[in-house]
Amino acid sequence: MLVRVKVKLKSLRNNKSILVPTLLNTGFTSDELDIHIPRDIAIKLGL
């Protein structure tokens, strides 16, 4: 089951934040926390 929610991402480097739509519970599994964000969002956050 897919769930769409809005998430506020905040950079710890410069305190910039942005509200983005996200897709949760996609069935992807990993031993570590994985967060993938589009390049344009990373640039807006100064990452």
Residues 5 and 24: beta-carbon distance below 8 Å:
yes
- Residues 6+ away with beta carbon under 8 Å from 47: 11, 13
1-38: b or e for each residue (b if 16 or more CB lie within 10 Å)? Answer: eeeeeeeebeeeeeeeeeeeeeeeeeeeeeeeeeeeee
Q: Is 25 left (phi over 0), alpha (psi -120 to 50) or beta?
A: left
Q: Is the pTM of this model over 0.75?
A: no
pLDDT (tens digit, 9 = 90+) per residue, 14-39?
A: 999 999 998 877 677 778 877 788 89
